[in-house]
Structure 1
Amino acid sequence: MVTSASSFTRGLAKPRLGVVQIVFFVVAASGPLYAIAGGISTTYAVTGIIGVPVAFIILAPILALFAVGYGVMSKHITNAGAFYPYVANGIGRPAGVAVSFVAVVAYNCIQIGVYGLFGWSVADFLKQKAGIDTPWWLWGLAILLVVGVLGAMRVDLNAKVLGVVLVLECATIVVIDLAGLLNPAEGNSLAPLDPANLFVTGVGAVFAFSVAVFTGFEGAATYGEETRDPARTVARATYVAIGLTAGLYAVSSLAMAVGVGPSQIVEQATLNGPGVFFGISGQHLGSTVTDVAYVLFLTSQFASLLSFHNAVARYFFALGREGVLPDALGRTNRRNGSPIVGSLTQSVTALVVVSGFAIAGREPIFELFTWLGVTASTGVVLIMIMVSISVIMFFRGRGGPETVWQRVIAPGLAAVLLTAIFVLILANFDVLVGTEEDSPLRWILPGLLLLAAIAGFVRSVVLRRSKPAVYAKVGGIGGIH
């Protein structure tokens, strides 16, 4: 099918988004319900540590430190590529292009990995409720088609869909949390809030999983060009997203442990996985509420898929528009402003990977979802470190109203603390992907991020020599103020 060139333009939709709408996108990307039911239960099971709530309490301020520099940078740079132009204008264009390639790999990984979780979740639900046995990949491919269609539509329409899903999702989480906290299995035990129950052997894996469930909060800047007031909206949306998700995760992980008993949470999480959270609902709220909660568990995954799809499409768009990737990726739909070519590219990439796992007979949860998800969170932490350093370098010698705290201290602390978390993730990578310590997989998956960075750096060198005019614009299109 040949599409008329008149159907495309080079700009995103006219500014339609505000703080609330962007919060819908970035919090939905984190998938609170599936992160809690799936991610947090997995954290308890894999690490055997009951102090998980403390990890979220500690991690939130670190992410807030990152958001300080990230927010003030957004006042000067508005670009759908988000992290990529930040690094390009802070550290330099080669580093910026390298980060852009890492971002493309990382966000594709997290988005595609959720197709495995969604396919398994639907297949398991149908088997439990109706006795119908269906392959996971059938539902994974079906939702892939739905996300692909919605991804090509107006961005503010997507925000409305995500908003409805997110409100219902958060309401469900609060109700189940209250059921767990008000019905403690072992009395009013607050053992999960004792730091001594976190800082034990394996604490690195807890922080690694915790970062993974936060992934998505940092995506506000990808919508900067489509906001009504990017200088304020991006920073505000990021702070709200961090506060909301940190609160949900800390309270929910505590409610989960209190509801089944701190001494039993590891064993129950190992045996039942997401069933731990829904088991609290079934015990205290009844089967109807639990069934509704599980359906919302599915829509939570859908919301995450749609949100990450939008983010990846905008990365492709930004890189295509600036000539870093093929020019066609920089086209948008003239009628609604959506990055149509980037959207289609992401859908095709997901189709190839999901089909490959299905054909190879690989497991959707512990392989497709886990392997790609952990790779993605590792990449995001690495990118945040680079952005924090970029903030310091960007404001060095530059006048402006920003304080020393915003320019140097907060981003400097964020860089140091995020580096410590990055080291912990690499040290515990075998635990995270469920392999032996000497398994090649623990090096292959993070190695993909290294290869992406090298490819990006090489691409920048090639551009500088062969297309100096294009290279000179890297990280700049979209607005530097």
Structure 2
Amino acid sequence: MTIEHTAARTDSGPPAIGERLRGNLGIPAVVFMVLAAAAPLGVIGGPVPLGIATGNGTGFPATFVIATVVLLLFAIGFTAMTPFVREAGAFFSYVQQGFGVAPAIGTAFVAVVTYAAMEAAVYGLLGPQLGGLLSLVGVPQLPWWVWAFAGLAVITYLGYRNIELSSRVLGILLLAEIAIVVVLDAVVIGRGGDHGLSTGLVNPSQITSGAPGIGMLFAIVSFLGFEATAIFRDEARDPERTIPYATYIALAVIGIFYTVSSWALISAWGDREAVTRATNSGSTMLVDTAQRYLGAVGADVIQVLFVTSLFACILSFHNVVSRYLFALSQRGFVPAAFGQPHTRHGSPHVASLGLSVVILAVVGVAALAGLDPSTEFYTWLSGITTVGVLALMVLTSAAVLNFFARDRRHYSTWRVRVAPALGLVGLLVFLGLIVTNLRDLVGGSAVLASAVIAVLVVSFIVGSVLGVRRARASRSDIHLATPAGEEN
């Protein structure tokens, strides 16, 4: 039987060499890319004080341990399936192997909306923070969106170039922000905290105090971005080795960093005072701690690196979404131009530019509408990302279990059945916590919470319907290409 090639592929085979993205990313580079998306410094200055204040207080650091364990269980199955996923595309490529084309394209549409929402949302933090920082050195006060657009211009340039330029920029920024927090942790621990180091991390009564479910919610949100390792498959030096190792290393680094740093932040003030400060002045808790233990210079460095952390987060998500659009284009679901790599840089340059135009429009609409950049614009869009990423991981976990259901492919039962199943249960619990508390996450509006769910559900349905249509068209093309007399 002869099958004609069509422009849009619906199988799971890799694209031709000339159609692939190019790069030479090793394990450290991929780790930098995904750690930057997690914005470690931003987490210590944002979700950590919130988790302490509204969650389980001094027991909050333990929630990072729990989240790390669940995500490691997810990663065990995720990385086991990596050798059988021969193309970039991250979650939707795994879902396609497990469930077929239609749910895979639905997953891809959810992923694009999820990550693009996060990229746009963080501009709502970058603009005001960058403007405020520059005003300290005499730069005139300008609207937040002016600085957001300036950041977008730099992001667009880096997204156009080869991925290795982005990885170098992210590596430098990431190492700087982690280094300053590690120094702060070391000084706090070395001095023994305010009056002894906190025991909340290992005290069951403190771990289960207050609202541990809310604490767990803020902990899991802090890991967003680690799962994007597989999207860089085509640009990795040795994907079968690079992607699994990068996933495990990123998870381990994030988990240890968050656990130790949140524990040190509490120890810096003492248990009772830490909860009070997190409640009354959580937005400045990290800077105040740096001022107390590292002096004015340390506090200034923290403020500068907080801005660069936001920039690194945006760049990382921009790279992820561009590569989702690239992969979707090669299947015919978004404009064909998005699927053409740059002849020199090997980057998804058209997809990157298209994404920048969309982000420009979204930020522009927010500016024209007069939305508050942090309490409205950031909060609303980040709600989409929070629910979306957990839903994507749930779908991927289910796809892994289904893929290995009949054939373990030489793996142990633990790796491809038990561990992924336990991870799926944990992720479903996390997703339930987030959906239950979504109204509070998006500013207390039931309408906005419903809108977040609706956006994600509609994205999945639209993608799935397009996937069904394309699969039918592909089968029709195959039928028409079959010479007479060769049909079974």
TM-score scaled to structure 2, two decimals? 0.90
Is residue 57 of structure 2 the alignment partner of residue 49 of structure 1?
A: yes
| Aligned residue number for residue 263 of structure 1 | 272
Deviation at 1:210, TM superposition (A): 1.5
Aligned-partner Cα distance in 2 for 1:125–1:174: 23
User: Are the structure 2 counterparts of residues 48 and 264 from structure 1 closer, same or farther at C-alpha, using a change threshold of 3 Å?
Assistant: farther
| Aligned residue number for residue 222 of structure 1 | 231
| Aligned residue number for residue 280 of structure 1 | 289
Deviation at 1:213, TM superposition (A): 1.3
Aligned-partner Cα distance in 2 for 1:471–1:198: 59
Is residue 339 of structure 2 the alignment partner of residue 330 of structure 1?
A: yes
Q: Any conservation in 2 of the 1:22–1:220 contact (CA below 8 Å)? A: yes
Aligned-partner Cα distance in 1 for 2:444–2:104: 33
Q: Any conservation in 2 of the 1:212–1:373 contact (CA below 8 Å)? A: no
Q: Any conservation in 1 of the 2:380–2:442 contact (CA below 8 Å)? A: yes
> Which residue among 460, 468, 488 is the counterpart of 1:461?
468
Moved more, 390-399 or 251-260: 390-399
Deviation at 1:399, TM superposition (A): 5.8
Aligned-partner Cα distance in 2 for 1:266–1:471: 64
Moved more, 71-80 or 81-90: 71-80
Q: Any conservation in 2 of the 1:391–1:407 contact (CA below 8 Å)? A: yes
Matches within 5 A, 1:62-81: 62-81=70-89
Structure 2 SS opposite 1:75: helix
Query: Could you list the per-position Cα deviations for residues 423-465 of structure 1 after superposition, in whole angstroms to 9, with x for gaps in the alignment?
Result: 11111112222215xx211211122111111111111122233
| Aligned residue number for residue 293 of structure 1 | 302
User: Are the structure 2 counterparts of residues 322 and 131 from structure 1 closer, same or farther at C-alpha, using a change threshold of 3 Å?
Assistant: closer
> Which residue among 129, 153, 171 is the counterpart of 1:145?
153
Structure 1 SS opposite 2:19: coil
Deviation at 1:13, TM superposition (A): 3.7
Aligned-partner Cα distance in 2 for 1:373–1:236: 28
Aligned-partner Cα distance in 1 for 2:298–2:260: 20
Aligned-partner Cα distance in 1 for 2:392–2:20: 24
Aligned-partner Cα distance in 2 for 1:37–1:350: 25
Aligned-partner Cα distance in 2 for 1:357–1:129: 27
| Aligned residue number for residue 440 of structure 1 | 447
Structure 2 SS opposite 1:334: coil
Aligned-partner Cα distance in 2 for 1:230–1:269: 42
Q: Any conservation in 1 of the 2:33–2:167 contact (CA below 8 Å)? A: yes
Query: Could you list the per-position Cα deviations for residues 367-414 of structure 1 after superposition, in whole angstroms to 9, with x for gaps in the alignment?
Result: 222222232121111111111111111123336322111211111111
Is residue 206 of structure 2 the alignment partner of residue 197 of structure 1?
A: yes
User: Are the structure 2 counterparts of residues 469 and 136 from structure 1 closer, same or farther at C-alpha, using a change threshold of 3 Å?
Assistant: farther
| Aligned residue number for residue 216 of structure 2 | 207
> Which residue among 378, 382, 387 is the counterpart of 1:378?
387
Structure 2 SS opposite 1:407: helix
| Aligned residue number for residue 406 of structure 1 | 415
Aligned-partner Cα distance in 2 for 1:252–1:324: 43
| Aligned residue number for residue 102 of structure 1 | 110
Deviation at 1:186, TM superposition (A): 4.0
| Aligned residue number for residue 479 of structure 1 | none
Aligned-partner Cα distance in 2 for 1:54–1:48: 9
Is residue 401 of structure 2 the alignment partner of residue 392 of structure 1?
A: yes
Is residue 457 of structure 2 the alignment partner of residue 450 of structure 1?
A: yes
Aligned-partner Cα distance in 2 for 1:56–1:87: 27
Matches within 5 A, 1:348-363: 348-363=357-372
User: Are the structure 2 counterparts of residues 457 and 112 from structure 1 closer, same or farther at C-alpha, using a change threshold of 3 Å?
Assistant: same
| Aligned residue number for residue 344 of structure 1 | 353
Aligned-partner Cα distance in 1 for 2:309–2:477: 40
Q: Any conservation in 1 of the 2:342–2:349 contact (CA below 8 Å)? A: yes
Q: Any conservation in 2 of the 1:119–1:136 contact (CA below 8 Å)? A: yes
Quick one: which amino acid aligns to residue 238 of structure 1?
T
How many residue pairs match? The answer is 462
| Aligned residue number for residue 477 of structure 1 | none
**Which structure 1 segments of 5+ residues have no match?**
1-8, 473-481
Aligned-partner Cα distance in 1 for 2:476–2:27: 35
Q: Any conservation in 1 of the 2:56–2:212 contact (CA below 8 Å)? A: no
| Aligned residue number for residue 244 of structure 1 | 253
| Aligned residue number for residue 9 of structure 2 | none
| Aligned residue number for residue 317 of structure 2 | 308
Structure 2 SS opposite 1:332: coil
**Which structure 2 segments of 5+ residues have no match?**
1-16, 480-488
Moved more, 359-368 or 218-227: 359-368
Structure 1 SS opposite 2:410: coil
Query: Could you list the per-position Cα deviations for residues 76-118 of structure 1 after superposition, in whole angstroms to 9, with x for gaps in the alignment?
Result: 1132211101001102221111111110111111111111111
User: Are the structure 2 counterparts of residues 195 and 145 from structure 1 closer, same or farther at C-alpha, using a change threshold of 3 Å?
Assistant: farther
User: Are the structure 2 counterparts of residues 31 and 48 from structure 1 closer, same or farther at C-alpha, using a change threshold of 3 Å?
Assistant: same
Matches within 5 A, 1:6-25: 11-25=19-33
Deviation at 1:46, TM superposition (A): 4.2
Is residue 438 of structure 2 the alignment partner of residue 429 of structure 1?
A: yes
RMSD: 2.1
Aligned-residue sequence identity (percent) comes to 35
Q: Any conservation in 2 of the 1:106–1:379 contact (CA below 8 Å)? A: yes
Structure 1 SS opposite 2:439: helix
Aligned-partner Cα distance in 2 for 1:364–1:455: 29
Structure 2 SS opposite 1:303: helix
> Which residue among 171, 183, 195 is the counterpart of 2:179?
171
Quick one: which amino acid aligns to residue 99 of structure 1?
T
| Aligned residue number for residue 132 of structure 2 | 124
Deviation at 1:161, TM superposition (A): 1.2
User: Are the structure 2 counterparts of residues 412 and 426 from structure 1 closer, same or farther at C-alpha, using a change threshold of 3 Å?
Assistant: same
| Aligned residue number for residue 4 of structure 1 | none
Q: Any conservation in 2 of the 1:192–1:257 contact (CA below 8 Å)? A: no
User: Are the structure 2 counterparts of residues 399 and 184 from structure 1 closer, same or farther at C-alpha, using a change threshold of 3 Å?
Assistant: closer
Query: Could you list the per-position Cα deviations for residues 324-345 of structure 1 after superposition, in whole angstroms to 9, with x for gaps in the alignment?
Result: 2222221111111100111112
User: Are the structure 2 counterparts of residues 376 and 296 from structure 1 closer, same or farther at C-alpha, using a change threshold of 3 Å?
Assistant: same
> Which residue among 29, 48, 58 is the counterpart of 1:40?
48
| Aligned residue number for residue 5 of structure 1 | none
Quick one: which amino acid aligns to residue 463 of structure 2?
G
| Aligned residue number for residue 188 of structure 1 | 197
Query: Could you list the per-position Cα deviations for residues 107-136 of structure 1 after superposition, in whole angstroms to 9, with x for gaps in the alignment?
Result: 111111111111121223344565853321
Deviation at 1:249, TM superposition (A): 0.7
User: Are the structure 2 counterparts of residues 149 and 469 from structure 1 closer, same or farther at C-alpha, using a change threshold of 3 Å?
Assistant: farther
Quick one: which amino acid aligns to residue 171 of structure 2?
G
Structure 1 SS opposite 2:46: helix
TM-score scaled to structure 1, two decimals? 0.91
